[in-house]
Amino acid sequence: MDYLMGIDLGTSSLKTLIMERNGKIIALSKCRYDVQSPMPGYMEQDPKIWWQACVQTIRDCLYKSGINSDEIASLGFSGQMHGLVLLDNKKELIRPAILHNDARSGDEVKELYELLGMKNIQEHLMNPLFTGSQITSLYWMKKNEVRQFRKIRYILSPKDYLLFRLTGVICTDYSDASATLLYDIKENRWWKKALECIGLSDLRMAPVQESIISVGKVLEAAGEETGISKKTVVCVGGGDQVMQALGNGVVEPGKATVTIGSSGQIFIPTDCPVGNPNYNMHTFCGAQENTWFSMGAILSAGLSLKWAGSVLEVNDFAELSRRAELAPAGSGGILFLPYLNGERTPHMNPMLRGGILGLNTKTGTNDFVRSVMEGVAFALREAMETCLQITPDPTLWIASGGGTQSNIWMEILADILGKPLYISKVEENAAVGAAITAGVGAGVYRNLKEGCKEVVSYQPDPVVPDVERIKQYEELYQIFKESYTANKMGLEKLSQIQRRDQDA
């Protein structure tokens, strides 16, 4: 039988799975790791840890499945987007990866807007500039790590590093290329002006392929390390948002996903690159040429619940969900602002900080946990409304990510978005999407649409919003939006104090 392998490099863990062509998962393995924050606002990971996690989970999956590795027709990657991985001319790592949620380059964002010009950015990148994107992280390095900057020979996105370790091939895909903010989305090539502006040439950038393209076979040494056979075809894969969408059967306009992973996203496929007139959401390329999507991204979704758990010293998400179930809808009138590490859509502000408003003598820990889940859902609604200002509302919404494991969180999300939410029957949709992509690359499926049709089905009953709670949340949502405007300046000042104190 032909099996397919999907590998998803997340922010908090790496997941590998082996599935049959009909989507039945026969082995799944996860390896957790931490994000390092050596300075306030810095978010980094050592790519070698990703590779170790990749090796460990591949071996574990092969062992659990009991299959012969020759039977794996192909494998593909999904990866956290925007992050910066740098290799020197010996193809050695230059420094730890700077991640998508890094907030150090606020000044560089402002400078790059000046240097590149708003009109050019609108026309070529079709995205707002933001901290944690490759363009701003590279520009920060140029100013602050001159010696290391000079060593840069290859610039990769996170999943491309795993592809390189496995095959020796340097290459990326359209989705990750566009997410670097160094890529001209209209012209479909690296944007020379942006590269020149930060003192680099497009020779430093990886060749760009469709996600389904097979780049070759595993290297001898990597084969021995992982147990992957030389017969297995290795495909490029794509950014985790594109891969999770495919793993949820979202392959063309009409369907959309709302994701609660470590971060959170609204993902809407579009017929053309819609751009970003208000500089507060994203337009990126899809898995294949001439495919695009609009995206609203919030920085602390699942991460907010993780933080709440650490405050309460409850590190079990299922237990946190039970606690949220015990609190009333609206959490007794308290509101959580989930800006723990700044925010992207719609505020595009790395200097924001979180907040809890309306605390009173009756507020208890159950209210606190529920308000965190509600605050994340309010932020996702604001991201959704931002996208829907310029893209048509899809007919079907699918919830995705680790947050779907919580019934109460899904109920809250459906009520706050005011949308029935479908949930896929399988977990780990980004890894499933990577496996589907690899299946197309190896000829197991004729195309992505066929792969999605064979693999993806939804639980029979969507999570349906409740009419009464929709009304109740509407009132709170208006206060949530106003709270940003009312508190913005104070939150920014607090963030400055936090940086200053931690710097000292």
For 203-207, the CB contacts below 8 A with 24+ separation are 204/152, 204/153, 204/154, 204/155, 205/155, 205/172, 205/177, 206/154, 206/155, 206/156, 206/160, 206/170, 206/171, 206/172, 206/177, 207/170, 207/171, 207/172
Instruction: Determine if 15 is a binding residue for ligand 5SP (CB under 6 A).
Output: no
| CA 77/CA 79 separation, integer angstroms | 7
Residue type, 199: G
Q: Which is nearer to ligand ADP, 83 or 302 (CB)?
A: 302
Distances (CA, A) of 337 to 97, 352, 373: 28, 10, 10
- Contact string 383-422 vs ligand ADP (x = CB under 6 A): ------------------xxx-xx--x-------------
Q: Binding of ligand ADP at residue 302 (CB under 6 A)?
A: yes
Tell me the C-alpha to C-alpha distance, in Å, between residue 143 and each of 4, 98, 108, 200, 268: 44, 15, 9, 13, 36
Residue of 306, 344, 353, 370 that binds ligand ADP (CB under 6 A): 306
Q: In the complex with ligand ADP, which residue's Cβ is closer, 142 or 282?
A: 282
Helix/strand/coil percent split, the chain, to 5: 45, 20, 35
Q: Six-digit token pair at 366?
A: 């159950």
- The number of C-alpha atoms within 13 Å of 443 and in the hemisphere containing its C-beta is 2
Residue holding tokens 């060749």? 207
Question: Within 2-21, which residues bind ligand ADP (CB under 6 A)?
Answer: 10-13
- The answer to whether 131 contacts ligand 5SP (rule: CB under 6 A) is no
In whole angstroms, how close is the CB of 463 to ligand ADP at the nearest point?
14
262 binds ligand ADP (CB under 6 A): yes
Contact partner, 405, from ligand ADP, ligand 5SP, none, Cβ < 5-8 Å per class: ligand ADP
Using Cβ positions, the residue closest to ligand 5SP within the complex turns out to be 261
Greatest CA separation for the chain: 65
Any contact of residue 458 with ligand ADP (CB under 6 A)?
no
In the complex, what is the shortest distance from the CB of residue 239 to ligand ADP, in angstroms, rounded to a whole number?
Answer: 12
Letters for 346-385 (x = contact with ligand ADP by CB under 6 A, - = none) are ----------------------------------------
Q: Which is nearer to ligand 5SP, 15 or 381 (CB)?
A: 15
Residue closer to ligand 5SP (CB basis): 159 or 217: 159
Regarding 262 and contact with ligand 5SP (CB under 6 A), the answer is yes
Token pair of 164 as six digits: 């390189």
Task: Residue 13: name its binding partner from ligand 5SP, ligand ADP, none (Cβ under 5 to 8 Å by kind).
Answer: ligand ADP
Count of other CB atoms within 10 angstroms of residue 241: 29
Which of 15-23, 34-42, 259-267, 325-333 is the region at the interface with ligand 5SP (rule: CB under 6 A)? 259-267
Among the listed residues 4, 6, 11, 54, the single contact to ligand 5SP using CB under 6 A: 11
Residue among 241, 341, 391, 424 that touches ligand 5SP (CB under 6 A): 241
* Tally of residues, the chain: 504
Site for ligand ADP in 475-494 (CB under 6 A): none
Per CB under 6 A, the segment of 108-116, 130-138, 303-311, 349-357 that binds ligand ADP is 303-311
**Tokens linked to 94:** 């230059």
Q: Residue 169 CB, nearest distance to ligand 5SP (Å)?
A: 22
Burial of 79 (0-12, 13-18, 19+ CB in 10 A): buried
Site string for ligand ADP, 313-332 (x = CB under 6 A): ----xx--x-----------
- What DSSP designation does 18 have? E
Q: Is residue 240 within the footprint of ligand 5SP (CB under 6 A)?
A: yes
**Residues 462, 467, 468, 473, Cα dihedral to 10°:** 80
Give contact residues for ligand 5SP (rule: CB under 6 A): 10-11, 80-82, 100, 240-241, 261-263, 265, 297
Give contact residues for ligand ADP (rule: CB under 6 A): 10-13, 260-262, 302-303, 305-306, 317-318, 321, 401-403, 405-406, 409
